[in-house]
Amino acid sequence: MPGNIAHSFKKAFTRRYCVALGLIFCILLSTFLAFTRQTQMAENDAYLINISGMQRMLSQRIALMAKEVRRAQNEAEADQFADKLEAAITRMYANNAALTTGDLKNGRSYRLSPALQEMYFGEAALDERVGKYLLAAKSFHDMYKERGLDVIKAAIRAEDNVAFARRGLLADLDSAVKLYEGEAKGRIRTFRHLELVFFIIGLVILLGEVLFIFRPMVHAITSRIGALEAKNAELVELSKKLVSKHPPQASAAAKPKEGTKENPPAS
C-alpha cells in the first residue's frame, strides 16, 4: 500500500512536470518559427524593394544609353553604349518577370498583393507598359546592330521612340517601389504586434504553471512531508508508551555481596 501511494505520487508529479515543460517548449517553438518566418519575409521584402528600385534606374539608363549611341563619334564608342543598352534591357526584363510572376532569383517566391496586382495588371497596366518600353528600346538596339551608326544618326531622332515609350513610366515605377516599401513596413508592424502577443501568452503560461502546476505540486509535497512527520511522531509516541508499560528486564542478576553464604570471602 505505501509503495502504491509513492508510485502514484511520483506519477502525478512527473505528469505535472512534463506538462509544464511541454507548454514552455510550445511557446519557444512558436516564437522561433515566427522569427524564422519574419526573417524570410524581411529578406524577400529587401530583395523586392531592391529590384523594384533598380527598375527606376534601368528605365533612365536605357533612355540615356540610347541617346549616347546616337551621339557616339565612332562605331567603337557606339558599340560600348549599345552593349550597355542591351545589358540594361536584359536586366530590366528579368526584374519585371520576377516582380510580376512572384518567382524570385534568390530561390524564393512571393504572392502579389491585390494592390500590386492592380498596379501591374489593372488600370495602371505597368507590366504591359514596361514590355512596350523594352520592346522600343530593343528595336532601337537592333536597328543600330543591323544598320550601323550612320543609319541611326540619319534617322529623325530614333531614340525619341524610346523616350516616348518611357513617358509616365518612371512615376509608376516609383509608385511600385513605394508600394513594396509600404507593404514591408506593414509586415514589420504586424510582426511587432505578434511579438507582443507571444510575450503576453508566455506570461499567461508562466502564471498558469505557477497557479495550477507548481503551486499544487508544492502543496502536495509539503502535505506529504507533513503526513510523514505526523506518522513518525505517532510512532515515536507509541514506542515511548510501550517502553513505559513493559520495561526491559535485567540482562543478568545482581551479584551477592562478598562474605555471604552465596559469596564467601576468599581465603
Q: Hey, what's the cell of 22?
A: 511541454
Please give the backbone phi and psi of residue 109, each rounded to the nearest 5 degrees, phi first.
-140, 165
Q: Is the pLDDT of residue 97 over 90?
A: yes
What pLDDT is recorded for position 161? 58
Kindly give, in sequence order, each residue whose CB lies less than 8 Å from that of residue 5, ignoring residues fewer than 6 positions away: none
Question: CA-to-CA distance for 133 and 211, rounded, in angstroms?
Answer: 68
pLDDT digits (tens, 9 = 90+) for 144-159: 888 888 877 766 555 5
% of the chain residues with pLDDT over 90: 29
Burial 119-153 (b: 16+ CB within 10 A, else e): bbeeeeebbebbeebbebbbebbebbeeeebeebe
| Greater pLDDT, 93 or 20 | 93
Label residue 38 exposed, middle or buried (CB < 10 Å: 0-12, 13-18, 19+). Answer: middle
Q: Is the pLDDT of residue 207 over 90?
A: no
What pLDDT is recorded for position 221? 80
**CA count, 13 A, side-chain hemisphere, 175:** 13
Estimate to the nearest angstrom the gap between the alpha carbon of 166 and the chain centroid. 40
What pLDDT is recorded for position 201? 87
What pLDDT is recorded for position 112? 92
Q: Is the pLDDT of residue 260 over 80?
A: no
Name, of 80-89, 100-109, 148-157, 193-202, the range with top average pLDDT: 80-89
What pLDDT is recorded for position 158? 53
| Average pLDDT of the segment spanning 23-33 | 87
Instruction: Look up the pTM and report it.
Output: 0.71
